[in-house]
Amino acid sequence: QVQLQQWGTGLLKPSETLSLTCGAYGGSLSGFFWTWIRQSPGGGLDWIGEINYSGRTIYNPSLKSRLSISVDTSKNQFSLRLTSVTAADTAEYYCARKRKSMSGLYYYFYMDVWGKGTAVTVSS
Amino acid sequence: SSELTQDPAVSVALGQTVTITCQGDGLRTYYAGWYQKKPGQAPLLVIYGRNNRPSGIPDRFSGSTSGNTASLTITGAQTEDEAAYFCNSPDSSGDHLFFGGGTSVTVL
């Protein structure tokens, strides 16, 4: 069973760049989408964006201008880069594996493997 | 609209049944995923697809869909089920994912 281990900068000042990396251990990146999700303090879950093995990315439109997600297949890792952070970016950030399947006329997507999370605080 | 709407909170007596709902237009095309979120822990997938449970999830968790509403039912709620539950589904394009606002479940 694949496990995700994530790491990166936890304390940032406004306008700095957030960088997080997630490594997949015990499984390949191939065949899945690899996502980033965050939860702000006291808030809900927000989808940030995702990437597949080939490097195809999909971003949350609200973050697209500041966001970059990349994949390093040689290291079995994928990374998030968010520029010009503000206090609004303070959150717990999670990486996760997204799967897609179909049943009857319905498609469905689900995140079945998650990293433990990285607490990110943006403060001057 | 791709918005997913959940009731903010619900309570259930120990051993009783509780149903959490999630409403959104996208649910007419896509099954929801359901995640359990406890403080200090990563989200845990509890239901996906039509009504599938990942390995290790107790069979007291079940899911269903009708029209634009997905439901998560806990039959015989236990104290360890006290958590926030989030539904998840994409928009009509299938590209962008959305989460409901979450339902906090209290087991009395």
Averaged pLDDT for residues B72-91: 97
Residues ≥6 apart with Cβ < 8 Å to A32: A52, A53, A97, A98, A99
Residue B107: which of B9, B39, B8 has the closest Cα? Answer: B9
Say what the pLDDT of residue B91 is.
Answer: 85
- At B84-104, the pLDDT tens digits run 999 999 988 888 999 999 999
Nearest to A44 among B30, B42, B102 (CB): B102
Neighbours of A80 (CB within 10 A): 25
Residues ≥6 apart with Cβ < 8 Å to A65: none
Interface test with A, best of B97, B98, B103 (most A CBs within 10 A): B97
Residue A87 — very low, low, confident or very high, per pLDDT cuts 50/70/90? very high
Interchain pair A111, B100: CB under 8 A? no
Residue B1 — very low, low, confident or very high, per pLDDT cuts 50/70/90? low
Residue B12 has pLDDT above 90, yes or no: yes
| Chain B partners within 8 Å of A98 (Cβ) | 97
Half-sphere exposure at residue A78, Cβ-oriented, CA atoms within 13 angstroms = 28
Percent of chain A predicted with pLDDT > 70: 100
Say what the pLDDT of residue B2 is.
Answer: 64
Pairing of strands A77-82, A18-25: antiparallel
Instruction: Say if A46 is an interface residue toward chain B (CB within 8 Å).
Output: yes
Tell me, rounded to whole angstroms, the distance of Cα B29 from its chain centroid.
17
Residue B40 has pLDDT above 70, yes or no: yes
What's the CA angle centered on A45, arms A27 and B101, to 5 degrees? 140
Instruction: Say if A72 is an interface residue toward chain B (CB within 8 Å).
Output: no
Interchain pair A58, B49: CB under 8 A? no
- At B41-70, the pLDDT tens digits run 999 999 999 999 999 999 999 999 999 999
Widest CA span in chain A? 52
| Chain A partners within 8 Å of B102 (Cβ) | 44-45
Residue A104 — very low, low, confident or very high, per pLDDT cuts 50/70/90? confident
Residue B62: which of B83, A105, B70, B103 has the closest Cα? Answer: B70
Instruction: Say if A41 is an interface residue toward chain B (CB within 8 Å).
Output: no
- At A36-79, the pLDDT tens digits run 999 999 899 999 999 999 999 999 999 999 999 999 999 999 99
Distance from CA of A61 to the nearest CA of B (A): 9
